Structure 1
């Protein structure tokens, strides 16, 4: 367990959390967190399970591995030089179609995003907008929740596929497909030095969070949205 205290401190700092803020989030006293990190105390299994759940790390990783080292070894290919499978559908004129991922298909998309048969079963269409180029790949995702207000729940986000993640501009809105959280729509900040993306909501009631690049499966840059929730008439 010689790496345990180092791992606990590394994971906290990587999420930019003080010991007090982490205490509030996982329900362990700040003094105990300090003692764990300084190796003055060894956490009980119940505390380790709280760390494991919050940071999405296996107990074996927390106890036996040097997580900071293993994260560097597993550094993600941000430029997209390695093969990424992206199935697309074309019409009778060999022109690329836009696939739509509605909310009800979101869970299936996590497993079928690289499956050509699954993509072919989604609604596929073309959009006659001059803002969309013929030589790029687009997809539309329906979003849930109000974390990105004023874009309302149920909106359809029209996106462009991003092969090279280094081209993502900080604070741009993107659809990110992650292995743990599925489809999320957030503002992105790159933190490649720590092998992660920072995901921020426009609704201040929602906390920002980090996702390891090793958990990221796809990134789609948001171009616009379609909504059938028209605003209410202004009050007189």
Structure 2
């Protein structure tokens, strides 16, 4: 399978953050404990493989996570989001409120709803933060989906029955993962996977997510927050599977109610004429 390379923004982000703080290369290099030549080389992108200590050094100095320094094109963020980032509200650290999504809008400035087709699922996992890739996805303008960012994902498998295999799940983008109520159904994009998962999500105090299925045949499991890339809260689903007239559970419940009525009728005292 052909891999999709993700663009790295480390060099341009370091230069952008330095200038934003009003520091010359010489002043920044002194604070960072680097030579001016090394900092200039990193900012120019000539240092293709900085040492892990360098990543940690820059992350600590600017108070920005390594993931953000690598993956987010910071100059494209608005001033409000940059201030949120600088205040410690980093999406890669705590689920944050930092918008790193590429979006498109219609003529009325309403956000489109992108659809991730089956054939693009592996590409989405690798290029979810790439504006060009997101722009290539099919888009819809749905008037009933306003006031948020929505995306449609096709699900595969029976782990979330009675939502059937092949359904399209519409999710709203979750900015603060830690605020999700326990057992919230969500689409979750995880690192190192060629697919996203549809699960009931519960935030655990130790910085993990518990992912559970509606189908009891599938066991719950936990993932570290560092493994989570995106979370989309369930909004609706559509399916081409026509439902049965009556489910097995509803038939059982109806039979129980009939039995209860029969028992009550048999135990009621008879009047004597």
The TM-score bracket by the shorter chain reads 0.5 to 0.7
Match of 1:124 in 2: 139
Match of 1:191 in 2: 204
Q: Determine if contact 1:101/1:109 at 8 Å carries over to the other structure.
A: yes
Structure of greater relative contact order (alpha carbons < 8 Å, 6+ residues apart):
1
Counterpart CA distance in 1 for 2:246 and 2:96 is 47
Q: Which runs of 5+ in 1 are unaligned?
A: 1-73
Match of 1:99 in 2: 114
Q: What's the CA shift for 1:102?
A: 2.0
- For residues 126-141 of structure 1, the aligned pairs below 5 Å read 126-129=141-144, 132=145, 134-141=146-153
Q: What's the CA shift for 1:180?
A: 2.8
Q: What's the CA shift for 1:225?
A: 0.4
- For residues 146-165 of structure 1, the aligned pairs below 5 Å read 146-165=158-177
TM-score of the two chains, using structure 1 as the length reference: 0.62
Match of 2:267 in 1: none
Counterpart CA distance in 2 for 1:192 and 1:108 is 32
Structure with the largest fraction of helix: 2
Q: Which runs of 5+ in 2 are unaligned?
A: 1-66, 68-89, 248-273
Q: What's the CA shift for 1:152?
A: 0.5
Q: Determine if contact 2:115/2:152 at 8 Å carries over to the other structure.
A: yes
Q: What's the CA shift for 1:103?
A: 2.2
Alpha-carbon distance change, 108 to 178 in structure 1, aligned in 2, over 3 angstroms: same
Root-mean-square deviation (Å): 2.2
Cα displacement string for residues 154-194 of structure 1 (whole angstroms, at most 9, x for unaligned residues): 1111111001112211011000000033300000111132x
Cα displacement string for residues 62-97 of structure 1 (whole angstroms, at most 9, x for unaligned residues): xxxxxxxxxxxx99622405x451001112222210
Cα displacement string for residues 181-235 of structure 1 (whole angstroms, at most 9, x for unaligned residues): 3300000111132x21010000011111111110100011001101111123459
Q: Aligned pairs, how many?
A: 158
Match of 2:62 in 1: none
Q: Give 3-state SS (helix, strand or coil) of 1:77's partner.
A: helix
Match of 1:85 in 2: 100
Counterpart CA distance in 2 for 1:216 and 1:192 is 15
Matched, 1:213 2:225: yes
- For residues 1-236 of structure 1, the aligned pairs below 5 Å read 77-81=93-97, 83-129=98-144, 132=145, 134-181=146-193, 182-193=195-206, 195-234=207-246
Q: What's the CA shift for 1:120?
A: 1.2
Q: Determine if contact 1:103/1:144 at 8 Å carries over to the other structure.
A: no
Q: What's the CA shift for 1:104?
A: 1.9
Counterpart CA distance in 1 for 2:246 and 2:147 is 42
Q: Determine if contact 2:106/2:141 at 8 Å carries over to the other structure.
A: no
TM-score of the two chains, using structure 2 as the length reference: 0.54
Alpha-carbon distance change, 152 to 141 in structure 1, aligned in 2, over 3 angstroms: same
